[in-house]
Every structure is written in structure tokens, then in C-alpha cells.
Structure 1
Amino acid sequence: MAGAADLPAPLTDDDFHAFDAEKARIGQLLFHDKILSGNRNIACATCHHPDHGTSDGLSLGIGEGGTGLGPERRAGTGEDRIRKRIPRNASALWNLGHKDIDVLFHDGRLEVSDIYGNGYNSPAEEWLPPGLETILAAQALLPLAAQFEMAGNPKENQIAGAAHDRIDYVWPYVAKRVRTIPEYGRMFVAAFDDVDSPEDVTIVHVANALAAFQGTEYRSHDAPFDAYLAGDRGALDPAQRRGLDLFYGKALCATCHSGPLLTDHRFHALALPQFGPGRTRRFDPYARDVGRMAESDRLEDAYRFRTPSLRNVALTAPYGHNGAFPTLEGIIRHHLDPLGSLDDWQGDMARLPAAPWLAATDFVVTQDRLERARHRARVDIDLPPLTGAEIEDLVAFLHALTGTESVEGRLGVPDSVPSGLAVDGP
């Protein structure tokens, strides 16, 4: 049975960065406003919607050019159709305002660091602007400059064109779009001490507002597990309690899913099935995703991905860095026998909206025997076997990590946004 020494301390508000409420209100509107995208057709919330656990319910996202929301999102038609699937699963946003978080994205390509003199090691390198208050603010800038996520394709708009020149050329265009909308201009002047007129608004103010919203809206530590940690031993039902004992005992889950967020913030290779366009580097001759190695350039990091937090995990299917498994039971069973699970995995387990023009590349990586061998050779976990009943108890415990009132948000989805563009919703 899990002893008190094995369990994390209860989360409190003091464990999170403090954010200003006025800035969060601006961030709420911006998060749902398609004005931030190159073609004004996709918002942050399109791929990170609260109705879908702050993700999108897909294995690989449908970004620029897609239509619809969540699992019903489609790949578009005609000239506007998507040109590429997003290479990885849309990460959930729960508790990213926690003070312990100093690395983000599946491969950790954004981390707190002074290597470039601006506080972060990021794909923007020295071009990331100073003044970003948290890593959550730095993260908010990167999708705006990504072609297949929010920027759009070359020649379609100024933002897309700028993205292909240099990443920091994007952000002045975005900031100008925002500050020239009168309602946004007034709100920034009221909320930011260093903004005396709308002309003073920069992309840093936009990013800090987005971070303020995400850091408060998606703070979640009111699950039955939290009540249990606080001393309410009746907060978990018998199956959940047995699952907790397994999680912190025989099943060894807490070896990696440790601490109050249930993550060690490190990187591990699990031999998850490969599919999709891959997140390739410029010199990669084929579709693949080598995970952390692409950022660290260390061979030992090949196929390693960041341990996800398990807070609200029951809301964020499908699972894995590429959403390979549609159920909690499936991803648990993969952990128990990675190579056996890899052999048994079928492509129709992935939630990939139809895109016939991309079908030739969706599973092309599986046709490369050398890549398959490299991938299979890197497995970092070796866990003891579990019975079917024990797996059911683990699933029950993972459901006990789902928040109660917090999952409904605080500000919610706005009915409208200052740009006048449509707000994504049910």
C-alpha cells in the first residue's frame, strides 16, 4: 500500500505563478480570437478547446486550412485544404502555470535557459523578445509563426510570408492587428502599466496576456486525488484506492509520473507506434520523429519524449506524443509490453481525419526497415506484468485525477471577440 512518504504534497495556489486578472481577461479573448492567425481562420482554442480537455481529441492535429472543431475537425477542401498534418498530438494545457515547469513541448524544444540572453532556449533562439514573464508566455508565441499551425502558407498573407524570412518578423504584424482593434487597445492600456496608448502594445504584451489566461483558466487541483492528499480518505472509491496503491507501488508508475503534477519533466523512449509526417529536421531524408534527440543532438535521446502530466488525463484522449492510443487501458498496456504492443498496433487506432492527398505519407515511416529497427532498439522502460483487474484499477485511479469545478474553467468561452470573427464552439 502507498504510504504517506510516497505521495506528493497537496497542490496549493502558492505553487503557481500569480497572474493579473485584467490581463487574463484580455488573454481569454485573444485565446479564442482568430485574429492571431495568418488567414484569420484558426485560434489557439481551435486545437486547445476546453470542450475537449484543452486538446482536440485527434491523434495529429488539423491546423491551417481545416474546418470544424475537436474530433469533428476536417482537413478542408480545394485550395484551402491542409498541406500537412500537425506532426504531434496537441498537448493539454492543465497547470502550465506551475512554478516547477521549466520545459515544454513533447521534445522539450522550449526550456528556461539563458543561452540566448532572453531567458529561454527556443526555436526562436536569439530572436525571442525579452520581457516574457513565464515560459507559458514564450510558448504562446511559437504557434503564431508556424506555417501549418496558425501562420498559413507562403503568399497567402503577410504573416506567412514573414515566417519564411525570420521568425521574429511575424510578431509585429500580429501585434499591430491586435492593437488597432479599438476594444483591445483600450483593454491593454487599462491592464498594463507600461502601455500608455494602443501604439505601445507589442507581441510581448500579447504573449503575457495569453499566459495570464491559460495559467489561471486551466489551473486544476480539485480532483478526488487532491481531496485524498488533503486527508479525506473517503475521497477515493475502493477501485481508485487499489489503483493508487499500484501506481505508487508494484506498477512503478510513479517512477516517471512523480511529484504533484505526476511528471518527472524528463524524457523517455516508449516505442510508441510511428505514423504521420514526422517532425523532421532539415537534413532528414524521410518522415520520422526522433523526439528529444532533434533538440539535444545526443544519440542517447533518440525517440525520447517528455513525460506528460497526468492531471485530467481522462479528458485528454488519445494518448502518447502522437495520440497513438485511444484509451487509457491501451496506453497502460503499451507501457507494460512496448514491443509487443507495437507489433499489434493497427493504423485505424489513430484518429486521423480523412485526407486522401496525404494518405501516401501517413504511414510511410513503417515501410523503412532500418528506421523501424532503430526505433525498436530504444526502449527505456521495463515494468512488471499486471493482471486485467489491476489494469482496471489503474484506470479507475487515473479517473480520480480529473478535477471537479476547475475543469469548467473560470472565464469560459466568450460569446464574441473584439475582432468580430467567429468563435469556435459546440
Structure 2
Amino acid sequence: MKDLYSRTNVRSEILFLFTLLFLSSCTSDNDYYQTVPVSSILEARILELYGSKDELILPSETDYSNIPSDPNNPITQAKVELGKFLFHETGLAKNPNMEIGTDMYSCASCHHAAAGFQAGTKQGIGEGGIGFGIKGEGRVKNPLYLEEDIDLQPIRTPSALNVAYQDVMLWNGQFGGTGTNAGTEDNWTIDTPKEANNFGFQGVETQVIAGLGVHRLVIDEDEIINSPYKNMFDLAFPNDAPENRYSKINASLAIAAFERTLLPNQSPFQEWLKGNENAMSEQSLNGANVFFNQGKCFTCHSGPGLNSMTFHAIGMNDLAGEEINTVVDMATAKGRGGFTQNPDDDFKFKTPQLYNLKDVKFYGHGGSFQTIKDVIEYKNNGIAENNLVPADKLSPNFTGLELTDVQINNLVSFLEIALYDNNLNRFVPDTLPTGNCFPNADSDSAADLGCD
């Protein structure tokens, strides 16, 4: 009965709002027009699409019961606090390719708050990089390293924001042993990072387990027991036997729990959804209406994270050319298909989340666009830039949108301003228990970060 009442209320609200819209288009005998606020038009559209604005609201980062979690890794405050430190801890870099890389980098080297938890450069550098700059844009190759010893990936670093709303990770979705990846078990190749899917965790947990190994970050039980981290592991995993407590798996679960709390819930759009009618500018409100109407952005970017677990081929270029070690192999170029080995998935890449994009200058899985406006215009034109992608592989959603310049500029305002949480530093520790510099600890970075 309660559900029926709720649905009736939603239908009534939608009917009322659309009645206002109808009246706004009609004239009386006196040519009197009733203007409907742009905010009301947006609310009506969101109610039509989702039934409630609540469906797009991100929970508080401390509201652990409402943050999507892995059933095998429930979020607790103790795990989050431990994970926050381990995510930024340069002291885990104990197995570098070159000795000079010891204690010099961390998970946050390529996923830091200053760049919206992406890398600040077109191609993120873990080991083998030096410098930071202001938003990570100053990180460059260490001239003492051979190119084959530098730790970087042949694809843009995805943001760690809103990973709670993603059950598989990376552009090809190869990490995650449940849900979206059900049926891909034959591709969880032994002796490769994909083997971590066999632990049965969701995407972010699996990615961290694999990532600690890929990036040669070490959880050493003896070192943990003799460090300030011992007590934090004890609080985070009190039910584990001591001989199993200080492990790589538990460290990974703590980091994943922390990453799930990286929610840009203080952005203007989120404030508007929660009832602050003045949170967004008129231009951003108009841009939101484009997003949920003519721009058709909502067809792929949905839910609180404005992402989805869908994969699409839209013909963007790969990361290649002027960058280091970026001869992109065909498995990487094929995206989801390179992982699943299903030709129907070839050249498809995961729909990314859309919050806090403006702190970086590279967009798309290959970083081939310099501004958010560039990406919108690319999708508006509907013409692929990557000649490797056959026309018959392109998504049916990748068609010209016929947006006007005004609509494009409004949409840019919504994406750049209304989806921007300017307080991501709340997710960054003031200091580490070890006292190490972070997210990088090389001398150039230390100078840039003010911790030398």
C-alpha cells in the first residue's frame, strides 16, 4: 500500500510540473505568459526519468550503510582510515624495478585529489617519475630510468571517484569477479593480474589486489607489526587471526573501502538535488536540461555517479605517439573485446563517471581531447577519429546530436561547474603515520609539495 501511495505521489508531482510547463507555453486573452523556472523544468525531467531526485544523490562519505559495498568487504570506519593512509603511503614502494625508486611512489601517484583522483598528466607515472607540480601536471620521466623500467600504462588513468557505483574496473572492465564479469571466467588468465578475479571480490577490491602486485607495492607482515600501522590493522580486522591479519588481501580491502568513500557529494548539482534551489547557476541548470534531454547524455551516464556498467565504441583515439612506451597493442585498442575475446565487444570502453573533470586537461581513454568542450563537440558531430575502429563497430548511440553553440556552452557549464566538488582534500591525510612525503617522495616532488 505504501509503494502504491509513493508511486501515486510521484505521478502527481510529475503531472503538476508538466502542467506548469504546458501553461508556460499558452497565452491568455491578454497575452499573459506564465514563466516556469528552469529548475522546475529540470526537476520534472528527472522525475520523469528516475521517479525521484533521490536516485541521483550521492550518500555522505561517512554513511557507510548507504555506500554500495562488496558483501565480502563491508565498509567500516577503521578500514577507511587504514585505507586512506595506505592509498597515499609511499613507504609501500619496496619492490621497485630500480633501487632509487624505493619509497618514492604510491597509489596516489596516479590517483590524487588535485586531479580529481586521476593522474595530472596525459599518462600517469608511478615508479620512474619525478616531480609533481601543482595538480600532478609536473610529473616527468626520471632520466636515470630506462623506458622499460618506468611504471606507466598504455591508457589514460581512470578516476577513482564514484568507484562504489562500478562493479568492474578499468576501461575494459577486466577487474571484478562478480556481476558484470559473470561469464568471463575463461579470461581470468593465470599468472596475470586478471587472476585476482578468482578471489571473488567486486571490481575495486580486485583492482587493488592486482594493483599492489602490478605496481610492486609491498605489504610486509613483519614491517607492519613493527610500524604505526599495526594498531590500525588490529582495529580494521579484529576478527582475523593475528597470523592472517597483516596481509596483502586485508590491505587491499582497506584501500578499496577507502576508495568507495570517494564521493563528490558537495558539488553544486548534488546540493541542488538535496534541495538547495540556488546551488546551480542558470547556465548550469540549462546545461543539465541539455544533459537529460537533447544531449542524450543520460542514456549512458546514469545513477548517482553519472556512469554505468555499459561499454560503448565511440571511435576515440588510443594513447599513442608522443608519450613514453605507448605502442598500443591490439588487446588494449580493442578495449572490452581485448579482455572478453568476444568480437562483439571490440573497441568498446567503459562509460566513465563525470564528476571533477576540469582539473585535468586530457579526456577520453587515449587522452586525445584537451577540453570538456572538445569531447562534447566530438559527440555532437558523431564522426569517429580513430581509423582503426570499423564503422560497423561504432555504438548506435554515437550519432550527431545537432546541439547549438548555446546548448554546448550550457552543457560545458553543467559538467565543469555543477559537477565539481571543490573540497576533495577532505579525502587526503594531513600526514602519514610514517612521516613520508606523499603522493610522491622523490626530491623534485618533495620540493613541489613542500615536504622536503
Question: TM-score, with normalisation over the residues of structure 2?
Answer: 0.71
Residues 42-68 of structure 1: per-residue CA shift (max 9 Å, x gap): 200111111121112222222321112
Q: CA deviation at 1:397?
A: 0.8
Which position in structure 1 is the counterpart of 2:431? 415
Q: Are the counterparts in 2 of residues 60 and 88 from structure 1 also a CA contact under 8 Å? A: yes
Relative to 1, partners in 2 of residues 1:375 and 1:46: Cα closer, same or farther, differing over 3 Å? farther
What does residue range 18-417 of structure 1 map to in structure 2 within 5 Å? 19-37=75-93, 38-39=95-96, 40=102, 41-69=104-132, 70-79=136-145, 83=149, 85-98=152-165, 101-113=166-178, 124=193, 130=199, 134-146=202-214, 150-151=215-216, 174-176=219-221, 178-197=223-242, 200-216=245-261, 218-276=262-320, 277=326, 280=329, 289-339=333-383, 342=385, 372-375=387-390, 378-380=393-395, 381-398=398-415, 399-405=417-423, 407-410=424-427, 412-417=428-433
Contact 2:315/2:389 (<8 A) preserved: no
Shift in Å, 1:319: 1.1
Query: 1:77-118: per-residue Cα shift (whole Å, max 9, x none)?
Result: 1345564642111111112224xx212110110134286999
Q: Which amino acid aligns with 1:47?
A: C
Give unmatched runs, 5+ long, in structure 1.
152-158, 160-172, 344-371
Aligned residues of 2:175 and 2:194 also touching (Cα < 8 A): no
Q: Shift in Å at residue 269 of structure 1?
A: 0.9
Query: What residue identity is the alignment partner of 1:315?
Result: D
Residue 233 of structure 1: how far off its partner (Å): 3.0
Q: Given that residues 268 and 279 in structure 2 are in contact (C-alpha distance below 8 angstroms), is that contact kept between their aligned partners in structure 1?
A: yes
Q: Find the aligned partners of 1:416 and 1:383 in 2 and give their Cα distance.
A: 49
Q: Is the 8 A contact 1:417 1:423 kept in 2?
A: no
Per-residue deviation, 1:72: 0.5
Q: Which has the larger radius of gyration?
A: 2
Letter of the structure 2 residue corresponding to residue 142 of structure 1: A
Q: Which amino acid aligns with 1:89?
A: R
Cα distance change, pair 124–273 in 1 and its aligned pair in 2 (3 A): closer
Confirm or deny: 8 A CA contact 2:268 2:280 kept in the other structure: yes
Q: Which amino acid aligns with 2:356?
A: N
Residue of structure 2 equivalent to 1:346: none
Cα shift at 1:34? 2.2
Aligned length: 361
CA–CA separation in structure 2 for the residues paired with 1:269 and 1:109: 16
**TM-score, normalized by length of structure 1?**
0.75
**Shift, 1:240, TM fit:** 0.7
In the alignment, which residue of structure 2 is the partner of 1:424? 439
Q: Which amino acid aligns with 1:73?
A: R
Q: Offset of 1:124 from its aligned partner?
A: 4.2
1:215 is displaced (CA, Å) by 2.0
* 8 Å CA contact 1:290, 1:303 repeated in 2: yes
Q: Which residue of 2 aligns with 1:367?
A: none
